[in-house]
Structure 1
Amino acid sequence: MRISELSRRSGVSVATIKYYIREGLLPGGRPTGITQAEYDEDHVRRLRLVRALIGVRGLSVHTTAEILRAIAGCDANTHRTLGLVLGALDTGTREHDQAPPAKKGEVDLLIAAMGWQVHPSSTAPRTLSEALTSLQELGIDLDWQTLLPYARLADQIAEVDLDQLGDSEDPLELAERAVLLTVLLEPALMVLRRMAQEHCSATRHLL
């Protein structure tokens, strides 16, 4: 297909497609003339993933390019693909010289208690540690035992999440589906939690 058709099918403007090609987010098409090239379904899938990473995940063009390069080297490794696009794993280019948050020990104990396999380069433990440290500074000191019920519920949610992804062997399709089904679902999960809190409050205090 020509670039105009690629633009129509992907919903990405021709100018943006050319920009993505220059920035390495999208491979160039097969040359058919001095100023013309042909594109295929791989370009359509790649553009959908780029849109999901930039538009849904809110990543920068630079970070998106890093993730796409990392996915290309995954050899269809589903676990690593999911880790990369969902932000659980970094791309190996970030600095890790900051001091660990005060609550890091509690998070380590929680991970051990749950028996979770968390990659050494995962950014999630630090994010959780920072959140707990902020709560502690505001006078709410949560230890790992208090978080256990939440972690068990998160475990069940994760199983449901992965069940929704299907069995695609195409890493680009899997990555796009992972971003859309998990990241876009997060606001809905927060709303469900609040509705459940309202219901529990009503049953406890109004009846």
Structure 2
Amino acid sequence: MRISELSERSGVSVPTIKYYVREGLLHRGELTSPNQARYDESHLDRLRLIGALTEVGGLSVAATRDLLQVIDGDQRPELGDLMGLTLKRVDGGPGDGGDVSEEDLAAADALAERHGWHVHPGSALREELARVMAALEGSGFELTPEWLDGYADAAGQTARLDHDYVEGVTNLDGVLRTVVVGTVLGERLLASLRRLAQASEARRRHGG
């Protein structure tokens, strides 16, 4: 198909398609003349993936390019490494926002230990958890064990569902894509479900 048809079918403008090609997000079409190229279903599929990561997932073009290079690369990362690489690119990535104290890290470690989670001492996610917990307490929010453990139980169940889903995908490219898209959009899905559930619970308890 020509670029005009690719644009029509994907809903992505021609200038944006050319921009994605220049930035390395979209592979080039097959040249049919010095000024014309032919595109196929793989380009349409890639544009849909880019749209899911950028428009819905909220990733930057640079972060999206990094993840697509992992999917397209010759060296396949371990599943856990791929999830970690993806998580670092969601919402700017864990590890941003300054140092955390040893006391904050100890509180995060205690929560993880209660739920049997293995957390590497140098993990950016460990620091992010400590930072968020400290910010909640600093704002006057009481972090009761019941509230924290309830959230951790929900997170653990979600993690098990994620891994069960990935284990059902047998194609390696499918696994890579499922992890990237599932991790990025799964963050948005959880946030949306939480807000809907909060609104519904408020109506159930208080009416209106």
Shorter-normalised TM-score: what interval? Answer: 0.7 to 0.9
Q: State the distance in 2 between where 1:81 and 1:117 align.
A: 17
Matched, 1:188 2:193: yes
Matched, 1:131 2:136: no
The number of aligned residues is: 199
Q: For structure 2, list consecutive stretches of 5 or more residues without a partner in the other structure.
A: none
Equivalent residues in 2 for 1:109-120 (5 A)?
Answer: 109-118=110-119
Determine what percentage of the aligned residue pairs are the same residue: 37
Between stretches 177-186 and 5-14, larger displacement belongs to 177-186
In 2 relative to 1, CA 179–36 (structure 1 residues): closer, same or farther, beyond 3 Å?
farther
Read off the aligned partner of 1:174 and give its amino acid letter.
T
Aligned match for 1:167, one of 161, 169, 191: 169
Q: Secondary structure at the match of 1:167?
A: coil
Q: State the distance in 2 between where 1:174 and 1:113 align.
A: 30
1:149 counterpart residue number: 150
Q: 1:82: Cα distance to partner?
A: 4.2
**Could you tell me whether the CA contact under 8 Å between 2:56 and 2:185 is conserved in 1?**
no
Read off the aligned partner of 1:182 and give its amino acid letter.
G
Q: Deviations over 1:63-105 (max 9, x none)?
A: 22122223333637554444444x2578xx9987942256222
**Could you tell me whether the CA contact under 8 Å between 1:136 and 1:142 is conserved in 2?**
yes
**Could you tell me whether the CA contact under 8 Å between 1:45 and 1:173 is conserved in 2?**
no
Q: 1:58: Cα distance to partner?
A: 1.5
In 2 relative to 1, CA 71–56 (structure 1 residues): closer, same or farther, beyond 3 Å?
same
Q: Secondary structure at the match of 2:33?
A: coil
Q: Secondary structure at the match of 1:26?
A: coil
Q: Structure 1 length as normaliser, TM-score?
A: 0.74
Q: For structure 1, list consecutive stretches of 5 or more residues without a partner in the other structure.
A: none
**Could you tell me whether the CA contact under 8 Å between 1:52 and 1:176 is conserved in 2?**
no
Q: State the distance in 2 between where 1:161 and 1:89 align.
A: 18
Q: Secondary structure at the match of 1:103?
A: helix
Matched, 1:178 2:205: no
Higher helix share: 2
Q: CA RMSD in A?
A: 3.6
Read off the aligned partner of 2:106 and give its amino acid letter.
G
Q: Deviations over 1:158-186 (max 9, x none)?
A: 33455566526234642575167524422
Read off the aligned partner of 1:178 and give its amino acid letter.
G
Q: 1:194: Cα distance to partner?
A: 4.1
Read off the aligned partner of 1:129 and give its amino acid letter.
A
**Could you tell me whether the CA contact under 8 Å between 1:81 and 1:175 is conserved in 2?**
yes
Read off the aligned partner of 2:67 and give its amino acid letter.
I
**Could you tell me whether the CA contact under 8 Å between 1:6 and 1:44 is conserved in 2?**
yes
In 2 relative to 1, CA 139–181 (structure 1 residues): closer, same or farther, beyond 3 Å?
closer
Read off the aligned partner of 2:149 and give its amino acid letter.
L
In 2 relative to 1, CA 156–82 (structure 1 residues): closer, same or farther, beyond 3 Å?
same
Q: 1:23: Cα distance to partner?
A: 1.0
